[in-house]
A and B are shown apart, each in its own frame.
Chain A
């Protein structure tokens, strides 16, 4: 992404966030114990400051964009195109991690973690079947042992609790 496009995008996102934040801050109720500033006072100030910084960045981006237009700007669509596979890869990884979070209480810690390790390693490009399987089979139980026995943290057993007990 060019400098101007980055500034413009950041400025627009910042303005949107500022607007949404101020809207939510308006809904903060006042209490009888409230001081002069109130519970919404400082957050409102910060929301406005974000809006101001975003507006200035937007203006800066516009100035840079015009300057870049006058100079030789690269053809539209060329910039950022090469980043698309990386963003897709990140989005895919995120989906795997979200699936793990959602399945954790259903499948239990050991199975869902082993499946997550298998899926992530394969998705990241690991293709040696034995290594993939070995890693998945070892990581889940090993980390469970570490948490459950060493750190005394109970990890979810999911459906297995029927057989293993809660």
Chain B
């Protein structure tokens, strides 16, 4: 109840409401552009949040995520090109509805299902996060180390089929994290004599390089995306009878989205496809799926919007980002000197509750903006790609420079962009790298702190019951995913 009141308090600030509306608008426009994922849309804004008040900055970034999930469904329905990965499942029935002249109806279903999913996800976030964080408050340094290891074990699920490549990416991320002054002895490491690197490499620079610069380097070599043409689409909200019909697929989407969201590594794309598949399985008319079924739009859209909130549960309570977008949001916290995790509720409860209130406002904003944004989105998708790339890069380069007015950081971001390009070429997953980067400090400092406490005895990680439990869980998670990967390959062979 107290948290609810504090969340509403945050809304008293006009800036939070403005951030929610602005973020959703930016997210819808970004999500509507094929190639601009929610994480890229968030990464583009990240440098601009530096001077903002923490709550406003976090709400802005989280609202981009909310908006991008709806934005991605617009080109998916209109031109059969998902704007975001998680909108790929919406293409199947959404585009079929558009071909039957029901594009407006499909867009309306997507919007309302997204709203239902977003609000449900927010409820789960509010109810689950604080309790989980309270449990984590009792953690010793050994338990924190093991929590970091558990976070890294998530790489097994994020490695896109190659555990070894995921492990290598994690090591590279950890290497980035070790640049700068040693947390225990104060010795400088990997700075190559540059005073600018003594404070380490800021995660924001790596994230902007990996997500935004890499994407532009890839996009410039790819053909232009399809144009929307003159689509006679006017958004049409579902009537009461349709809402009753959509209740079941929306509920399935909410359940699947909750499970996939709180599981680090799964994310909105898996949730959307699983929700589509489950909704079809439990439908009274499965034969209509793939032929323009409204349920086929409602289930994935409600699922991927649930994830926008539930993916924040492991981030806020344990400090573990389970998806690209959650990692960018973590970057937003770090910029403002805030470390997500159990202590966040003690040190900055106003930011957490402000985020809850902001997310509520963002979902309302999605509904209101969604009603009028269709034509601007079609106009934007139809802009020639060369001009869009130029403007996006102008924003990226300006934003990065604005952080510390450093040309070295600009060059660093470009270097990270090239690294991301090479990794993508070699099919090395990027998210484990981000995970290594953001968990590197937590793991190293707590590992060494634990050994100082135990006098160098490594058994402290096994005698501390919480630490032992987390390590066993990490081992089980890695073995399970490794076994799944192995069994999957065996089945293919």
Chain A residues engaging chain B, CB cutoff 8 angstroms = 1, 6, 9-10, 13-14, 17-18, 21, 24-25, 28-31, 33-43, 46-47, 49-50, 53-54, 56-57, 60, 83, 85-90, 93-94, 97-98, 100-102, 104-105, 109, 113, 116-118, 120-126, 128, 131, 135, 139-140, 143, 147, 151-156
Contacts and interface: CB of A to CB of B under 8 A. Distances in A.
Given A1-B425, A33-B184, A117-B390, A124 B220 contact: yes
A74 B178 CA distance: 42
Instruction: Classify the secondary structure of B's interface with A.
Output: helix
B427 interface: yes
Interface stretch (B14-22, B128-136, B185-193): B185-193
In the complex, the 4 A-B pairs of residues with the closest C-beta atoms, listed nearest first: A86-B221, A124-B386, A126-B386, A50-B171
Interface stretch (B239-247, B312-320, B401-409): B401-409
Contact of B448 (A42, A89, A90, A109): A42
B222 interface: yes
B426 A9 contact: yes
Given A53-B167, A124-B385, A151-B48, A35 B452 contact: yes
B398 A143 contact: yes
B424 to A, nearest CB: 11
B218 interface: yes
Given A31-B185, A94-B418, A125-B386, 11 more contacts: A13-B426, A14-B168, A42-B448, A50-B175, A93-B220, A101-B397, A120-B393, A124-B390, A126-B384, A135-B387, A143-B395
B280 interface: no
A60 B174 CA distance: 24
B447 interface: yes
B172 interface: yes
A39 to B, nearest CB: 4
B373 interface: no
Contacts of B384: 125-126, 128, 131
A85 to B, nearest CB: 7
21 contacts: A1-B425, A24-B190, A28-B187, A29-B187, A31-B186, A37-B448, A39-B187, A39-B189, A42-B443, A43-B190, A50-B171, A53-B164, A54-B168, A57-B165, A87-B221, A90-B218, A102-B407, A104-B410, A126-B386, A139-B390, A153-B51
B385 A125 contact: yes
Interface in B206-224: 213, 216-218, 220-222, 224
Contact of B414 (A49, A94, A155): A94
Contact of B221 (A85, A100, A151): A85
B185 A33 contact: yes
B325 to A, nearest CB: 24
Interface residues of B, number: 60
Contacts of A125: 224, 384-386
A38 B185 contact: yes
B167 A121 contact: no
A105 B410 CA distance: 12
Given A100-B397, A113-B397, A126-B390, A49 B167 contact: yes
A42 B167 contact: no
A10 B165 contact: yes
B244 to A, nearest CB: 47
A116 B414 CA distance: 14
Given A42-B178, A151-B51, A101 B411 contact: yes
Contacts of B387: 121, 126, 131, 135
B451 interface: yes
A139 B391 contact: yes
Contacts of B1: none
A37 B401 contact: no
Given A120-B390, A121-B389, A89 B221 contact: yes
A86 B422 CA distance: 12
Contacts of A93: 216-217, 220
B391 A10 contact: no
Contacts of B168: 10, 14, 50, 53-54, 57
A40 B55 CA distance: 37
B397 A116 contact: yes
Interface in B228-281: none
B221 A17 contact: no
A89 B220 contact: yes
B15 to A, nearest CB: 13
Contacts of B48: 151
B205 interface: no
B204 interface: no
Contacts of B448: 35, 37, 41-42
B460 to A, nearest CB: 13
B444 interface: yes
A28 B395 CA distance: 38
Contact of B447 (A42, A60, A139): A42
Given A10-B428, A39-B189, A86-B222, A97 B172 contact: no
B491 interface: no
Nearest to B400: A101
